[in-house]
């Protein structure tokens, strides 16, 4: 069974005519976006606001009309993937490098819906190295402050050069092992001057669509 396809396509049920939809980034939400493309061809009227240049390209290829923040004042539903999800629906995101735009769009959405295959469910966040987006200037100092907070930062690479985000920044993938207080860490990281944002999304996900042990769709709502 293709878990990513199952949960990704299920998310399209939450999309109704006339909505503004935040379009996430990654291989799970790819299936949501592809299904929305098919529904648009059949007459569904939506506007998408993409979280990355990669998603923008995909949405254009599928004929999904796009909007920017200049034209809209709210997002009805943002749909996105995650790298880890804990029982409180706190997330690690940013494996695909799009965490900043993803967080801006998730925050602006009335409903933030996450699609995650069952391998993403964890008791405690942190086995997946936490992506932290930093400005290139002074990144050597920023790295030291990340270490002070207990992280082991590795500068993400792309063909031998630092990986650049869509915003022209770099990413430190920070191993923290176990993140027991994700809300505190999210805030502390963002107090470091060179940090633009980090991949902890705490108290943001309203709904997580995943699969249970029987491989049936499981809808988890934030309490």
Where in 95-134 is the site for ligand 5RP (CB under 6 A)?
95-99, 102
SS3 23: strand
Q: Which of residues 46-85 bind ligand 5RP (CB under 6 A)?
A: 80-83
**To the nearest whole angstrom, how small is the minimum distance from the Cβ of residue 114 to ligand 5RP?**
8
Minimum CB separation from ligand 5RP for residue 95, in Å?
3
Nearer to ligand 5RP, 1 or 45 (CB): 1
User: How many other CB atoms are there within 10 angstroms of residue 154's CB atom?
Assistant: 13
C-alpha to C-alpha distance for 165 and 139, rounded to whole angstroms: 15
Nearer to ligand 5RP among residue 98 and residue 139 (C-beta) = 98
Angle ∠(26,205,59) on CA atoms, nearest 5: 35
Q: Catalytic residues, which ones?
A: 102
Smaller CB separation from ligand 5RP, 101 or 143: 101
Which region holds residue 203: left if phi is over 0, alpha if psi is between -120 and 50, else beta? Answer: left
150 labeled binding residue: no
Nearer residue to ligand 5RP within complex by CB, 48 or 95: 95
Q: Is 81 annotated as a binding residue?
A: yes
Residue 93 makes contact with ligand 5RP by CB under 6 A: yes
In the chain, the DSSP E strands lie at 20-23, 47-50, 75-80, 84-85, 91-92, 109-115, 130-134, 152-155, 157-158, 161-162, 170-175, 195-198, 200-201, 207-211, 217-221
Q: How far is the CB of 94 from ligand 5RP (least distance, A)?
A: 5
Query: Known binder of ligand: residue 165?
Result: no
Encoded one letter per residue, x for contact with ligand 5RP by CB under 6 A and - for no contact, window 9-38 reads ---------------xxxxx----------
Residue 182 half-sphere exposure toward CB, CA atoms < 13 A: 25
Binding segment for ligand 5RP among 9-17, 70-78, 90-98, 156-164 (CB under 6 A)?
90-98
Instruction: Name residue, tokens 């999904």.
Output: 64
Residue 157 CB, shortest distance to ligand 5RP, in Å, is: 16
> Burial of 74 by CB count in 10 Å (0-12 exposed, 13-18 middle, 19+ buried)?
exposed
Q: Rounded CA gap, 208 and 111, in Å?
A: 11
Q: Which residues bind ligand 5RP (CB under 6 A)?
A: 24-28, 80-83, 93-99, 102
Which residues make up each annotated binding site? 25-28, 80-83, 93-96, 120
């Amino acid at each position: 069974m293709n878990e990513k396809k199952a949960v990704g396509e299920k998310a399209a049920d939450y999309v109704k005519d006339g909505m503004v939809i935040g379009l996430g980034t990654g291989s799970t939400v790819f299936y949501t976006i592809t299904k929305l493309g098919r529904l648009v061809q059949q007459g569904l009227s939506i506007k998408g606001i993409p979280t990355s240049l990669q998603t923008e390209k995909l949405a254009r290829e599928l004929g999904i009309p796009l909007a920017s923040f200049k034209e809209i004042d709210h997002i009805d539903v943002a749909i996105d993937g995650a790298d880890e999800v804990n029982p409180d629906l706190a997330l690690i995101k940013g494996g695909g490098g799009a965490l900043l735009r993803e967080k801006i769009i998730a925050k602006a959405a009335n409903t933030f819906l996450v699609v995650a295959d069952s391998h993403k469910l964890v008791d405690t966040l942190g086995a997946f190295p936490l992506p932290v987006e930093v400005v290139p200037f002074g990144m050597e100092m920023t790295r030291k402050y990340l270490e002070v907070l207990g992280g082991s930062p590795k500068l993400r690479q792309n063909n031998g050069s630092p990986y650049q985000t869509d915003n022209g920044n770099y990413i430190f993938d920070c191993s923290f092992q176990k993140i027991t207080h994700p809300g505190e860490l999210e805030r502390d990281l963002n107090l470091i001057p060179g940090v633009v944002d980090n991949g902890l999304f705490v108290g943001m996900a309203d709904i997580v669509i995943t699969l249970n042990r029987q491989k049936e769709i499981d809808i988890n709502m934030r309490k």
